[in-house]
Amino acid sequence: MQRYAQYDTAQLLMTTPLSDRAVAASTRLSKTTVRRYRRVLTQQPLSWLELKTLPDHEFERVLRRQRSGGKPKPELDFKFIEQELKSPGVTRQLLWEEYRQADPDNTLCYSHFAAKIREQRHRQPTVMRQDYAAGRSLLVDYSGKRLFYIDRASGQPVYVELFVGVLPCSSMVYATCTGTQGSADFLKAHVAMFEYFGGVPLILVCDNLKSAVTKPASTGKPAVIQRNYGDLARHYAVAVHPTRPRRPRDKATVEASVRIAQNWILAPLRKRVFHSLEDINLAVAEALERLNQRKMTKDGQTRRQRFETLERHHLRPLPAEPYLYGEWHIVPKVPQDYHVAVEGHFYSVPHHLVGERVDARVQDDLVEIFHQRKRVARHAYCRERGRHTTVRAHQTEAHQMQADRSPEGMLRWAQDAGPAIARFVHAQLSTDRPYLGMAACEQVHAWAAKHGTALVDRVVGQALEMKSANVSALRRLMAHATKPVDTPQPTTRGRNIRGARALVGGAPC
């Protein structure tokens, strides 16, 4: 607008006999400014036909006010000014007054000061307007402001973190409080958020906190996703796109939603007294519903209405089972006894993995052990430190045979060997000193290995019916059962022996 006013003023002054007042009324400039333009134009040698062909910057240089030769005004520190303007209550008027205090006689006037700030902002890079497709992305972040509850035992405040997620297409917001920003709390908040939305997007956009990103992206190298966060992404089949470091505009929607959550969730709860994290989350859930039911100014709809009409049907369904958080433990080398230590307890792995590296994942009541991303063992979690849990299939054949020499191993074998053997072994070991009955059980085990469990089970059944279930009786019965049967051998006639017919009628000798 200023450029067109200068152009029109110069044209009228150089091509018409109008007075300064008439030109000022036509171009809406002050009469003083028009008078200055007339004085400058009469002193320069160009005609109007030459002047109008000049580029904009040259045209402005011709009309620019000549420097008075006085002391130059101090330059403004725009970085400092922009930083100060972000503080609550700081205005341009306040900064200008502080700026004048250093040298009141040689400073810019307020209008010039404000104009330079506006001009500097116009030189800033353009901002890309993001276009979010329904069901495509989900943005998550933590709030810088926190709530707290009073611990009943100590009476001290315990601060909690506010986790916020937003679907940018519909602006649907989820919020909950977690004890920390650690990996366990961070991932559990994601699971609850997916349940709240009732579906899963294609992409998760997160900040570069340690619970999500082990190493931020750098030039030519992608970000390294934290292992547990990668497990959650694989479980829900979503892609993780961390934002660029120190680039909040990459997730401007969630930044705005965090401020909204602070205003409509944290602020109304600031004066309430809580005594547990559960109490806080109940209040946060109520405030969250009020927020999602408020009408938005841009279209008069609530976030819930926009979500139901625009985005819900674009989300992919949840998996059959929710993600369970687990802590990872690295075992660099499986020892010779093929038992790996996890939180003080020893769990068996297949014996052929001795010397290999394995990874153990500990959940609430489950321990899973992986080798080259393939699960090789699964155990119930045990809190007894120093003890061991062994799966028979993980042992070598020699170790399995040795394990069967224990009362527990003998009972396991007898259960599958036969009903009579099971009764006999159980009777021998059901005493205060079960090891005294191991000799008889091992004798039965040896007979079964030699003659088969079917024969031994039948013999033991006979002994039980005779009420003589002891080793001596069993030995006699086994000797009888395994005694070879004597059968008469058929006589064979030799080739040179004559039969009876040869003697009939007095055959000659």
388: left (phi > 0), else alpha (psi -120 to 50), else beta?
Answer: beta
Degrees (nearest 5) of the Cα angle 233, 238, 243?
85
Q: Where are the alpha helices (DSSP H) in 206-295?
A: 227-236, 252-261, 277-292
Structure tokens given for 19: 């007075």
| 418-420-426-428 Cα dihedral, nearest 10 degrees | -130
pLDDT for the residue 1:
47
Of the candidates 319, 307, 317, 318, which has an alpha carbon nearest to the alpha carbon of residue 134?
307
pLDDT for the residue 350:
92
- The length of the chain is 509
Q: How far apart are CA 459 and CA 473, in angstroms?
A: 10
**Tokens 């994942």 -> residue:** 361
Q: Say which residues have a Cβ less than 8 Å from residue 393's Cβ, sequence separation at least 6.
A: 350
Q: How far apart are CA 367 and CA 375, in angstroms?
A: 11
φ, ψ of residue 302 in degrees (nearest 5): -85, 165
From first to last of the 509 residues of the chain, give the pLDDT tens digit: 455 677 788 888 888 888 888 888 887 788 888 888 888 888 888 888 888 888 877 888 887 765 555 566 777 888 888 777 766 677 888 888 888 887 777 788 888 888 888 888 777 665 555 556 788 888 888 888 888 999 988 889 999 999 999 988 888 999 999 999 998 899 999 999 999 999 999 888 888 888 888 888 776 678 888 888 888 988 898 888 888 765 555 556 667 778 888 888 888 888 889 999 999 999 999 999 999 998 887 778 898 998 998 888 889 999 988 888 888 888 888 888 889 888 889 999 998 888 889 988 888 788 889 988 788 888 988 888 888 888 878 888 777 766 666 777 788 888 888 898 888 888 888 877 777 788 888 888 888 888 888 888 888 888 888 888 788 888 888 888 877 755 555 555 555 656 566 555 555 54
Query: Would you say 459 and 481 are in contact if contact means Cβ atoms under 8 Å apart?
Result: yes
pLDDT for the residue 505:
57
Q: Does domain 137-314 sit in CATH 3.30.420.10?
A: yes
- The 10 Å CB-count burial string (b at 16+, else e) for 418-429 is bebbbbbbeebb
Type of residue numbered 259: R
Structure tokens given for 325: 């958080």
Please report which helix (H) or strand (E) contains residue 225, including its range.
strand 224-225
Q: Is 323 helix (H, G, I), strand (E, B) or coil?
A: coil
Degrees (nearest 5) of the Cα angle 365, 366, 368?
165
